[in-house]
Amino acid sequence: MPVPARLPAPARRPRWLLATLLFAMTLATTTVLGTGYYLGSRTDVVSALPLWLHPEAVRTVLGRADLLGIGLRFSLPALFVLLCHELGHYLACRWYRLPATLPYFLPAPVGIGTFGAFIRIRAPLRGKRELFDVAVAGPLAGFAALLPILAYGIARSTPVPLERLPDLDTSPAYLVLPGQSLLQHLLVRIFHGPLPAGWILDLHPFALAGWIGLFATMLNLIPLGQLDGGHLLYAVAGRRQRQAALVLWLLLVLAGIHWPGWLFWCAVTLIMGLRHPPVVDEATPLDAPRRRLALVTLAIFLLSFMPVPIEIVPVAF
């Protein structure tokens, strides 16, 4: 059965003002909150900056050139990685003449200052190859962007000993440590060799920005529902994705034993729907090059995966 031609979508003007305003707001929030997160991850300073958008934190960061410089060295590369990810999707949509919005960033008043970015596709995807190409373009572009940033940041980071304390309530201070992925371990060994037991890296801002890119890549490649990984699994496996969805979701629930944040993503994927909706043409399978590219994205997911993405560690200074 031939796939029906796509009807031309109603012309919509790109909302450049909205996209620019959201980016500017996200740059501001990630610069301020990223400074606090960066200082909170280091062993050589004790920071009082909160990880939420407190007016005093804004005044402190914007009023000191050194802190503002730290914030920008984090926020600019981090947002660059997120932008590359969304531009990958956007340009793939343009290739297939799919109507799509500009990339929109989401500022956040807590955490690192952003809930990420997104584009909205305003037409159904017709086949698995089209779905695969649009879905895979984002993670590939984002990973290509984050890799040199992360490598440079880890090379510029400093190995230090870490004295952990058993009880957070009696600790004079704590660290907010980014999780460790296989890719990070490989880069640490390349630039610093195997670290002694009990040692960590005091991260350069670029390393923390690269970690944000890894975290976003990992989350997007979870093979469920409307996430990029769910699109890719459906493009590869077709209706068998629906059979595997519950099993994959239960594995994510089990991961919540090690990090409660996974339970939040269990709820998110459940709300979005675990089973992928069908495309118009379910009969045409992926070709061999795309199946090989699917293995590449699986390798990226495994390299990016962090069992415990964020850890709060009581320490003695």
Report pLDDT for 154. 96
- Categorize the per-residue pLDDT at 2 as very low, low, confident or very high, splitting at 50, 70 and 90: very low
Q: Which pLDDT tens digit goes with each residue over 110-126? A: 888 999 999 998 888 88
> Which residues are bridge partners to 175 per DSSP?
313
What average pLDDT does range 235-241 have in this prediction?
A: 84
Q: Which residues pair with 176 in a beta bridge?
A: 312
CA dihedral 176, 178, 180, 186 (to 10 degrees): -120
Other CB atoms within 10 A of residue 219 CB? 16
pLDDT at residue 169, rounded to an integer: 52
**84: nearest Cα among 212, 265, 193:** 212
96-107 confidence digits (pLDDT tens): 999 999 999 999
Residue 41 pLDDT: 85
The yes-or-no verdict on residue 26 having pLDDT over 50 is yes
Average pLDDT of the chain to the nearest whole number: 87
pLDDT at 55: 86
Give residue 137's pLDDT: 96
- Examine the pLDDT at 313 and tell me if it is beyond 80: no
Q: Is the pLDDT of residue 3 over 70?
A: no
Q: Who has greater pLDDT, 80 or 269?
A: 80
SS3 annotation, the chain = CCCCCCCCCCCCCCCHHHHHHHHHHHHHHHHHHHHHHHHHCCCCCCCCCCCECCHHHHHHHHHCHHHHHHHHHHHHHHHHHHHHHHHHHHHHHHHCCCCECCCEEEECCECCCEEEEECCECCCCCEHHHHHHHHHHHHHHHHHHHHHHHHHHHHCCEEEECCECCCHHHCCEEEEEECCCHHHHHHHHHHHCCCCCCEEEECCHHHHHHHHHHHHHHHHCCCCCCCHHHHHHHHHHCCHHHHHHHHHHHHHHHHCCCCCHHHHHHHHHHHHCCCCCCCCECCCCCCHHHHHHHHHHHHHHHHHCCCCCEEEEEECC
pLDDT in tens, 244-256: 888 888 998 998 8
Q: What are 219-233's pLDDT values in tens digits?
A: 999 998 888 999 999
Task: Give the confidence band of 173 by pLDDT, cuts at 50, 70, 90.
Answer: low
Confidence of residue 315 (pLDDT cuts 50, 70, 90): low
Q: pTM for the complete prediction?
A: 0.90
Say which range, 170-179, 183-192, 205-214, has the weakest mean pLDDT. Answer: 170-179
Q: How far apart are CA 20 and CA 217, in angstroms?
A: 23
Max mean pLDDT range (32-41, 152-161, 195-204): 152-161
pLDDT value of position 1: 40
- Domain segments of the chain: what residues? 16-315
Highest mean pLDDT among 133-147, 153-167, 173-187: 133-147
% the chain with pLDDT above 90: 54
Q: Which residue has the tokens 């804004």?
A: 58
**β-strand 199-202 against 158-161: which pairing, if any?**
antiparallel
- Is 80 exceeded by the pLDDT of residue 144? yes
Structure tokens at 98: 């799919």
Q: What is the pLDDT of residues 181-193, one digit of tens each?
A: 999 999 999 999 9
Nearest to 30 by CA among 65, 101, 85, 80: 80
pLDDT for position 218: 94
Q: How close are the terminal C-alpha atoms of the chain, in Å?
A: 69
Higher pLDDT residue, 312 or 264?
264
pLDDT band at 276 (very low <50, low <70, confident <90, very high): confident
Residue 244: the pLDDT is: 84
Cβ neighbors of 192 (< 8 A, separation 6 or more) are 154, 157, 159, 201
